[in-house]
A = this chain, B = another copy of it.
Amino acid sequence: MKLPPSASDRPPTSVDVARLAGVSQATVSYVLNDAPGVRISEETRAKVRAAADRLGYAPHASARALKTGRSDLVLCPVPDVALGSLFGIWMREMTERLGERGFRLVLLQGDAQAKGVAAARAWAEWRPAAVLVQEDRLTRAAVRQLHAAGTAAVVAIGPEPSALTPTLVFDDAGIGRAAARHLIERGRRRLAAVVPTEPVLRDFGERRLAGVLTEAAEAGGAAGSGLAVERVDLPFDEGAAAAVAARWAVSPDRPDAVFAYNDEYAVLMLRALQDAGLDVPGDVALVGADDLPWAALLRPRISSVRILGEGAAGDTADWIAGLIRDRERSPAVHRALTRVEIVPRESS
């Protein structure tokens, strides 16, 4: 097998293909793009395709984007924290479905601190069809910047509908509510909610805590019984967890239930509680979140709040494709990303 004769050292262009096939450059474009409303003989098509193959021709995406004025890019600048397995599954489904709709989802990691109009400008340079990004990285100027650059859809991901643009609502409060409701229904009265101190997790923790408080307030009102909620700010650190557990061990009004933010924090608390001589769930019930596979293997098995189920991404991808099609800009448009569901197990 011989190397294709490279006319020069530079990547082959459609002109090269045309020359080799003995047709005009326009014909190459027609054939390779299956241009509608153009009749080209099957013979010519074959010649063109053979030539393209032979040269290893790959159309220049930038040239195409420049000419057509649009790109099929859906930019998704992800913060580091998002690279969890849960998010990974969701992302894969999104990629797949958006691909079927003709879009290419691209993850931009890094520059986690880049936000506002500066970040928006960097994203805008690619003239993406859509940008899908954590709400707190968007400002009014950022959204305007993206629109100015022709971005058809700017989609925020946040705890509640953004005032700026359509939002994919990720209901962290709902997660806290689900956990709290479950615990209260089981007769627990003194709840504790862990709020991670890690900068990237803190905000999520706050919102989950808020959900616990909401649920407790509602249930407390209904039952007329005193429901207490203790807030526990906690780094992911054994010592810190042990200190909390030790305090509870000797406290008469210690919590009888803990919502541990997620499954990892749940293990952390589980160990600390057990080491402090507290029985789970006898003395203290425990609920995590994310429903990670290994959490079900602990003893006791950790109850968890399942967040993004399989198949949750498909519809979302269609929704986003619709936003792009309609160039939707109204902040009134939003969609719940989360389907929260408690998975009860031994620990609660």
Contact = CB atoms under 8 A, between A and B. Distances in A.
A236 B92 contact: no
Contact of A56 (B56, B105, B111, B149): B149
A12 B105 CA distance: 25
A107 B74 CA distance: 12
A261 to B, nearest CB: 13
Interface stretch (A176-184, A292-300, A332-340): A292-300
Nearest to A123: B58
Given A6-B148, A11-B124, A11-B127, 20 more contacts: A3-B144, A10-B150, A11-B150, A55-B148, A56-B145, A56-B148, A58-B125, A59-B125, A83-B83, A83-B84, A83-B85, A83-B88, A84-B85, A91-B109, A95-B109, A99-B111, A106-B107, A238-B296, A264-B294, A268-B297
A127 B11 CA distance: 9
A115 interface: no
Contact of A80 (B61, B88, B106, B298): B88
Interface in A96-125: 96, 99, 104-112, 117, 121-122, 124-125
* Top 6 closest pairs, chain A to chain B, by CB: A95-B110, A83-B88, A107-B107, A62-B62, A62-B65, A58-B124
Contacts of A4: 148
A265 to B, nearest CB: 9
B62 A61 contact: yes
Contacts of A223: none
A122 B271 CA distance: 49
Interface in A321-340: none
A126 B10 contact: no
A181 to B, nearest CB: 26
Contacts of A110: 92, 95-96, 99, 105
* Count of chain copies: 2
Contacts of A268: 294, 297
Interface of A: 3-4, 6, 10-12, 55-56, 58-63, 65-66, 69, 71, 80, 83-85, 87-89, 91-92, 95-96, 99, 104-112, 117, 121-122, 124-127, 144-145, 148-150, 236, 238, 264, 267-268, 270-271, 293-294, 296-299
A148 B95 contact: no
Contacts of A106: 106-108
A276 B281 CA distance: 24
A145 to B, nearest CB: 5
17 contacts: A4-B148, A11-B150, A56-B117, A56-B145, A56-B148, A58-B121, A61-B125, A61-B127, A62-B63, A92-B112, A95-B109, A95-B110, A236-B293, A238-B296, A264-B294, A268-B294, A268-B297
Contacts of A71: 62
Contact of A297 (B112, B271, B293): B271
A267 B238 contact: no
Given A99-B111, A110-B105, A297-B271, A61 B126 contact: yes
A270 B267 CA distance: 15
A109 B109 contact: no
Nearest to A95: B110
